[in-house]
Chain A
Amino acid sequence: DADVTQTPRNRITKTGKRIMLECSQTKGHDRMYWYRQDPGLGLRLIYYSFDVKDINKGEISDGYSVSRQAQAKFSLSLESAIPNQTALYFCATSGRSNQPQHFGDGTRLSIL
């Protein structure tokens, strides 16, 4: 089983719909992150959390919200999806600051 699991792997939906992407990890890490990847723009940080009671905005948080339900679970929501949120979304985890980040396989999201 993967250490960082993202669901769903693919999602196609319509403008205005509410969408939730989920991430769970078995690595026992405190820190969790959500990124989006767009061609030509690389990966950009949306939100991150250093423990269950900690939520921080990243570079591009507008239009997104997150919930850290437990140490192992971190979900990303799009309250009212718009086409320019079409992208590949990644969840990542890490232990302490001097340790590497570990990524899930991503969710490919298309908004029509």
Chain B
Amino acid sequence: KQEVTQIPAALSVPEGENLVLNCSFTDSAIYNLQWFRQDPGKGLTSLLLIQSSQREQTSGRLNASLDKSSGRSTLYIAASQPGDSATYLCAVKDNQGGKLIFGQGTELSVKP
């Protein structure tokens, strides 16, 4: 059974710092991996989607990498801003039915 783990559960950094969020998964047979952002009281916003054949995806200050063989993905946020404060979730899609398996998220706080 696929399990997705995100460490740390919470992270507090000063504004301007570069940071890395980690996601690990137990079964490397994935279809793709998706990073989301969740603001309090809101739904999930898709940030980046990495297909299983890709190594990384970039969008603005965000860069996500994927190492299937080791079961790991990282989300790199450059020059963090207070507006980046949110919970970040990663999810892997299995090869069979297209279901997403979520990690429990990392709650990020960026202090001015």
Contacts and interface: CB of A to CB of B under 8 A. Distances in A.
B99 A105 contact: no
B100 A101 contact: yes
Given A97-B98, A103-B43, A103-B44, A42 B104 contact: yes
B98 A45 contact: no
Contact of A100 (B31, B42, B46): B46
Interface of B is mostly: strand
Interface in B14-68: 31-32, 34, 36, 41-46, 49, 51
A41 interface: yes
B88 interface: no
Interface string B70-112: 0000000000000000000101010001111011110000000
A94 B93 CA distance: 12
Nearest to A45: B99
Interface of A is mostly: strand
A100 B49 contact: yes
Nearest to B53: A98
A43 B4 CA distance: 11
B42 A43 contact: no
A43 to B, nearest CB: 4
A27 B102 CA distance: 23
A40 B93 contact: no
Interface string A1-42: 000100000000000000000000000000101000000111
Interface of B: 31-32, 34, 36, 41-46, 49, 51, 89, 91, 93, 97-100, 102-105
